[in-house]
């Protein structure tokens, strides 16, 4: 992923906060066999806010053999995206139709080594962490091996723990443009009101504040 300096996070805390603020669904990408295709698995995950990701999948999922053979994986998370038409981005005193369209988005890619978790107690702890993460949606239940409701189901899943070794993060919201330009694009997003426009507008405003010159 190409990351221009104006699209880069200001520090690790920026992408970490974005992940922990409800961005907990992505794709786990695992290398395929030699001369084969990679495997991409959509999944919810729990990020500890620093450098560890945990998740679980069905034991029958074919991704496990790929992880066993090639444990270096990527977890890719993407959201707050919007298509920005060229008419919103035309330079001053030029025809609107001469503007260049672009895409706004936030993206974080976590690179690391995946560890498969099969121990029943460890899987119970991993699942408990995920349920705790979602407790605001009524998901919190203690998971104990062998005990209902989830203990008897533990053999049907395997856990995965990703130790993050490298991160690529990108917040692409025209930070290199003027405040007037960003305000015009924000007006366009607000007026259009498509499903993810509010998220893109919020990022546009937040990043604009980050890049204001200091006094």
CA atoms within 13 A on the CB side of 131: 15
Categorize the per-residue pLDDT at 33 as very low, low, confident or very high, splitting at 50, 70 and 90.
Answer: confident
Query: Are the C-beta atoms of 51 and 18 separated by less than 8 Å?
Result: no
pLDDT confidence of residue 146: 87
pLDDT at 213 over 60: no
Per-residue b or e along 75-98, where b marks 16 or more CB atoms closer than 10 Å to that residue's CB = bbbebbbbebbeebbbeeeeeeee
Q: What is the pTM of this model?
A: 0.92
Cα 144 to its chain centre, rounded Å, is 30
Rounded to an integer, what distance in angstroms lies between the CA atom of residue 73 and that of residue 28?
A: 7
In the structure encoding, which two tokens stand for residue 99, read together?
A: 């503007």
Alpha-carbon torsion angle 147, 150, 156, 162, nearest 10: -110
pLDDT confidence of residue 36: 84
Across 20-38, average pLDDT: 91
Secondary structure of residue 64 in the 3-state scheme: helix
pLDDT at 82 over 90: yes
pLDDT confidence of residue 142: 80
Cα 34 to its chain centre, rounded Å, is 27
Least confident of 14-18, 165-169, 209-213: 209-213
pLDDT at 215 over 60: no
pLDDT confidence of residue 214: 42
Query: What is 12-210's CATH superfamily?
Result: Electron Transport, Fmn-binding Protein; Chain A (2.30.110.10)
Across 10-38, average pLDDT: 93
pLDDT digits (tens, 9 = 90+) for 107-143: 999 999 999 999 999 999 999 988 888 876 766 678 8
Residues with Cβ within 8 Å of 209's Cβ and at least 6 positions away in sequence, in order, are none
Domain ranges of the chain: 12-210
pLDDT at 25 over 90: yes
pLDDT confidence of residue 211: 65
User: 163 - beta bridge partners?
Assistant: 52, 113
pLDDT confidence of residue 141: 73
The arrangement of strands across the sheet holding 102-117 comes to 39-44, 25-30, 72-84, 102-117, 157-172, 52-58, 46-47
pLDDT digits (tens, 9 = 90+) for 95-109: 999 999 999 999 999
């Amino acid at each position: 992923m190409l990351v221009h300096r104006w699209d880069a996070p200001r520090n690790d805390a920026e992408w970490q906060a974005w992940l922990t603020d409800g961005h907990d669904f992505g794709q786990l990408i695992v290398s395929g066999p030699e001369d084969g295709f990679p495997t991409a698995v959509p999944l919810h995950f729990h990020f500890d806010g620093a450098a560890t990701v945990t998740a679980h999948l069905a034991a029958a999922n074919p991704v496990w053999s790929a992880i066993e053979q090639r444990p270096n994986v990527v977890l890719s998370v993407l959201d707050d995206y919007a298509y920005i038409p060229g008419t919103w981005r035309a330079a001053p005193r030029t025809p609107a139709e001469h503007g260049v369209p672009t895409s706004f988005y936030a993206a974080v890619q976590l690179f690391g080594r995946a560890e498969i978790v099969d121990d029943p107690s460890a899987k119970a702890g991993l699942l408990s962490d995920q349920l705790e993460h979602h407790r605001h949606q009524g998901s919190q239940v203690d998971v104990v091996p062998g005990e209902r409701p989830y203990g008897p189901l533990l053999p049907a899943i395997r856990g995965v723990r990703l130790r993050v070794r490298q991160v690529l993060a990108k917040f692409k919201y025209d930070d290199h443009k003027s405040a007037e330009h960003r305000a015009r694009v924000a007006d366009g997003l607000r007026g259009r009101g498509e499903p993810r426009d509010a998220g893109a507008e919020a990022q546009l405003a937040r990043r604009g504040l980050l890049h204001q010159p200091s006094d």
